[in-house]
C-alpha cells in the first residue's frame, strides 16, 4: 500500500481548506493497454467541433459524450504548449490513442469530455488577457467553456476544467473569470503569467524557488476565484517550485485548494503517454501507478459537490 505523508493541512477562514500531501510510490512503467480504447466509438463517437472565438476565428475541439441524451457533467481538457495543436491531435487524445487513460476514464464516469485547443503565439502576449484588444488564449478558453455550457446534453452548472502545463495557466485564468465553473484541476501547471511572471526574450525562466510572484497582479487574479482547485505535480517536475508558489498564493487569499505531490512524477506524468517526443525523459513518456492514483483522486474531486 502506498505510504502517504501529510506535509501540511491548513484551515483558513470560513470554509476554505488547503493542504499539500506527498505520495510515495514506484517509478516503474505500468502497461497501458487495459486503460485505453475502452469506450466504443459506436456508443461515443468523436464529434469534431469548431467553436467560434471572440475575433471570429474557429477553435478546434474534440467532444465525446456518454451514451444517452443526458444531461451530463462535462470536463474541458486543456493541453500543454504549444497552442494550436489541431484537430487530428485532439481526436487522438480523446480516444486515448497514445496510451493516456484520462480522457476515456472521465467518459466512463459519465462525463462529456471536451478536448479543446487554443491559439499559440508570443508567450508573453498570448497567455494572459490583453488590455489592448488583442484576442488571446484566455479569450479562446472562455469561448470554449461558454460553448460547452450551452450544449443541450450538458449540465450547465457541472462543467469543470482540467489544464495541463501551459493549459494550467489558461485554466487558472478561467477560474478567475468564469465563476460558474464547478471545479478546476491542474496537472503540472505552468501558471507563469497568471502569477505575474514573464519569460524574458532570451527564454530563461525565473527561478521560481527564489523569485516571488507579482503580489498585485496575482492578487487581482486570485481574489475572484470561487470554486475548489486541485493541483497535481510530480517530484521530478521542474515546475514544482512554481506550483508550490501558486498553492501558497491561493492559501494566502483564503481559497479552497489542495496540492498532491507524487514521487517520481515527471512533467505531465498525470496524463500518461500523450504521444510526444520527450528528450528530457530517458524512457520517454510512460504510464506510472502514480498517474492512475492521481486519476482516481481527480475523479472523486470533480464528482464531489462544490
pLDDT tens readout for residues 66-109 = 999 889 999 999 999 988 899 999 999 999 998 899 999 999 99
Residue pLDDT, tens place only, 111-129: 999 999 999 989 999 999 9
pLDDT at 280: 86
In 104-252, where do the E strands start and end?
112-116, 154-164, 184-187, 229-234
Task: Tell me how far apart the alpha carbons of residues 214 and 190 are, in angstroms, rounded to a whole number.
Answer: 15
pLDDT at 89: 92
Residue pLDDT, tens place only, 30-39: 998 899 999 9
Helix locations, 47-129, DSSP H: 87-94, 102-108, 123-126
| Farthest CA pair distance, the chain | 53
> What's the chain's length in residues?
306
Residue pLDDT, tens place only, 172-201: 999 999 999 999 999 999 999 999 998 887
> Which phi and psi (to 5°) does residue 174 adopt?
-65, -40
Segment 209-222 mean pLDDT: 96
**Residue-range domains of the chain with CATH:** 4-303 (3.40.50.1820)
Bridge partners, 116 (sequence order): 61, 78
Q: What does the mean pLDDT of the chain come to?
A: 91
Helix (H) or strand (E) holding 21: strand 17-23
Task: Tell me how far apart the alpha carbons of residues 166 and 118 are, in angstroms, rounded to a whole number.
Answer: 11
Crossing angle of helices 137-149 and 166-177, rounded to 10°: 60
Task: Tell me how far apart the alpha carbons of residues 193 and 206 are, in angstroms, rounded to a whole number.
Answer: 12
pLDDT at 201: 78
Residue pLDDT, tens place only, 154-174: 999 999 999 999 999 999 999
Segment 256-276 mean pLDDT: 93
The model carries a pTM of 0.92
Amino acid at each position: 500500500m502506498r505510504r502517504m505523508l501529510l506535509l501540511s493541512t491548513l484551515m483558513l477562514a470560513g470554509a476554505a481548506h488547503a493542504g499539500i500531501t506527498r505520495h510515495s510510490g514506484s517509478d516503474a512503467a505500468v502497461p497501458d493497454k487495459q486503460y485505453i480504447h475502452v469506450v466504443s466509438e459506436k456508443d461515443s463517437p468523436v464529434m469534431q467541433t469548431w467553436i467560434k472565438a471572440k475575433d471570429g476565428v474557429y477553435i478546434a475541439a474534440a467532444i465525446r459524450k456518454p451514451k444517452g441524451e443526458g444531461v451530463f457533467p462535462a470536463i474541458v481538457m486543456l493541453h500543454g504548449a504549444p497552442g494550436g495543436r489541431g484537430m487530428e491531435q485532439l481526436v487522438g487524445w480523446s480516444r486515448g490513442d497514445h496510451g493516456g487513460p484520462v480522457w476515456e476514464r472521465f467518459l466512463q464516469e459519465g462525463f462529456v469530455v471536451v478536448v479543446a485547443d487554443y491559439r499559440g503565439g508570443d508567450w508573453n502576449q498570448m497567455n494572459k488577457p490583453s488590455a489592448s484588444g488583442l484576442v488571446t488564449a484566455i479569450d479562446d478558453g472562455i469561448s470554449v467553456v461558454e460553448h460547452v455550457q450551452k450544449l443541450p446534453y450538458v449540465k450547465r452548472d457541472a462543467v469543470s476544467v482540467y489544464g495541463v502545463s501551459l493549459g494550467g495557466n489558461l485554466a487558472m485564468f478561467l477560474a478567475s473569470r468564469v465563476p460558474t465553473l464547478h471545479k478546476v484541476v491542474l496537472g503540472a501547471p505552468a501558471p507563469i503569467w497568471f502569477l505575474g511572471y514573464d519569460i524574458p526574450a532570451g527564454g530563461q525562466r525565473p527561478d521560481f524557488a527564489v523569485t516571488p510572484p507579482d503580489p498585485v497582479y496575482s492578487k487581482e487574479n486570485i481574489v475572484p476565484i470561487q470554486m475548489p482547485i486541485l493541483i497535481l505535480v510530480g517530484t521530478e517536475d521542474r515546475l514544482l517550485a512554481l506550483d508550490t508558489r501558486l498553492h501558497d498564493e491561493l492559501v494566502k487569499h483564503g481559497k479552497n485548494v489542495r496540492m498532491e505531490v507524487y514521487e517520481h512524477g515527471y512533467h505531465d506524468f498525470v496524463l500518461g503517454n500523450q504521444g510526444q517526443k520527450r528528450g528530457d525523459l530517458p524512457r520517454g513518456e510512460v504510464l506510472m501507478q502514480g498517474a492512475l492514483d492521481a486519476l482516481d483522486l481527480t475523479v472523486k474531486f470533480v464528482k464531489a459537490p462544490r
